[in-house]
Structure 1
Amino acid sequence: MSMTAVMQISVLASSSQGNSLYIKTPNKRILVDAGLSGKKIKDLLASIGEDIQQLDAILVTHEHSDHIRGVGILARRYGLDVYANAKTWQAMRAKIGPVDSHQQHLFEANSVLTLGDLDIESFSVSHDAIDPQFYNFHYQDHSFVDLTDTGYVSDRVKYIIQNADGFLMECNHDLEMLRQGYYPWSLKQRIISDEGHLSNLDGANALMDVIGNQTKQVFLGHLSPENNLPKLAHQTVSELLQQHDYGVDHDFWLHDTYAQQATQLTII
């Protein structure tokens, strides 16, 4: 296989303040979510040597602002196709502004969309949005899973994402930091609920159920700036996996992600 005939990913930004994932294959260049300003996403792409004008499409997971802030401006400025399910389109239209009808595409949960050389499998998650969905990207015999913004990982989702070559897995908060933090009790309850976010321990436990022989890259994402630290998330996940005999940074690599800095392009 030539070096160009691969799927590559970069987590452009991943935190409670803004999220965007870049997927690149020989035929397609796709964003999952655009939760930062158009200019910031352009700069983040440039920082890894990628040209925003080469983008083909944006896939939207759900309508929360940290996932859609830049969707409208990017769609209008660069003529990008935007894919989301019907309920998400309804919920986000007023927030993203006008997008030409020919750029608006339906991609319902629990279905498969083929874009060029990519087959994209959508799956529902448990989060307090109208109809949230995330994605398993298939290129040739490789797959990459994007899974954040869920209160728990169901057995059905675990089956869909089992043994992927790469994962972006949510590690939103450290439970003790959240408990001791300044958030009102109602917000703390929302975060730890079944429609909230995965903690570091939740993310680690989910990974133990889905990592397989093919898994080579694991990214820890959607960290809360108020209720987590990259070092703490990494340490918590790494220690728990190693306690259960997973070969961290041997059989697979464990990567941090950042709120304002893109990860390097990584072959999946």
Structure 2
Amino acid sequence: MSTDLGPETLTAAVIDSFKNTPDDRLKEILESLTRNLHTFVREVSPSIEEWEAAIDFLTATGQKCDDVRQEFILLSDVLGVSMMVETINDAETPDATDSTVLGPFHMVESPARALGDNVSPESEGDICVVRGKIVSVSGEPIPGAQIDVWQANTKGFYDVQQPGIQSIGNGRGLLHADENGEFHFRSVVPAYYPIPTDGPVGSLLNATARHPYRPAHIHFIVTAPGFKELTTHIFVGGSEYIDSDAVFAVKESLVKPFTVNSDPAAATGFGVGSPFVEGVIDIVLHPEAQPLSTTTEKTKEIVR
């Protein structure tokens, strides 16, 4: 290896340093990362001070992470990386329900709830019913599918954001579909809210004159044996910021009307007063993908 490396030869030398990587996929990733990262640096031509500022920003991003806050996921979200990954992977399962971002607040275990339970028992606001059915791409119901849900309250806060005000687990629930693949739970209609802006990501939004708001939504992770895990949302139709989500996560197929149901019999069946607000989302799962590659597992080991 030459010790007199210019911009082009430096890139080649770094790529060459990975030539003995035993895992072909890991080698491909590192080579592409180096090539594109070096291209970016040559294009931008950062000063030493700018490079130091970038290092400080990434350091501060890591330091802001804790057991209930993942600032790096938030950074991935606001740069559109999370949705790019979701969109690329969605292309492999076009017949399934669209996926969308995990978000930074799936950091605690959701409490077990029975079908029909109120997942937001401490939240003020009118009770709504969210219901739907879990089916395969062939339309067959998936009995017993596990449904993990979490959401903000009517003031736009998640439980982990309000210690002492909300108990951990408020706005969350782990349910299972019935023998027909159907599910329902009670909650409150969540509000739109700002993503956390008290860290480096908030500073980035301020510096770029971007707003921090997400439209109202409820998160879902749906799993069942033999099917690919799905992370998605139900967005509240008509919510503010539907057209300008700070993390670019809105998909038209996931925007659902939360409408008033005036049927007394339906209200009695769900254990709520009449009339009530109702949101409906049917979720389609795709047969399970191939197991995680060896490269994925090795990459996890590298970053631990």
TM-score by length of 2: 0.23
**Larger Cα-atom Rg:** 2
Higher strand share: 1
